[in-house]
Amino acid sequence: MDYIYLREMQFFGYHGVLAEETILGQRFKATVSLAVDIQKAGKTDELGDTVSYVGVYDVCKEVIEGKPYKLIEAVAETIAAKILTAYEGQVYGCKVEIIKPDPPIPGHYKEVAVEIVRGRYYE
């Protein structure tokens, strides 16, 4: 199995449980890895033989900058479902990590994140 990665894409959204998160919004980072077979694309050098990075980026942007969710778990699930549906037969599995770099939690930490793995096949 081969993998395509889109690492640390950055967006601005309004997800969260606290009122200030849904009013002020905040930054989100997303990393997506896709389990695919890209051997044919490597031989043909044709975009039609692989998964469009632009298309995957657009899915992430649409979800994160779109409808607000309370939980980043729901954001990750929605992204995974949309990717697996849009690229059925091409993407066998996907891993989605959603990061809140600046959540409104007192204390010292780098960030909070969730990571999910969905699909028929993933290593």
Rounded Cα distance, 83 and 85, in Å: 5
Exposure on the CB side of residue 105, measured as CA atoms within 13 A: 12
Task: Name the active-site residue from 29, 61, 100, 110.
Answer: 100
100 is catalytic: yes
- Go through 39-60 and write b for each residue having 16 or more CB atoms within 10 A of its CB, e for each that does not: eebeeeeeeeebbeeeebeebb
In eight-state DSSP terms, residue 49 is G
**Residues with catalytic function:** 100
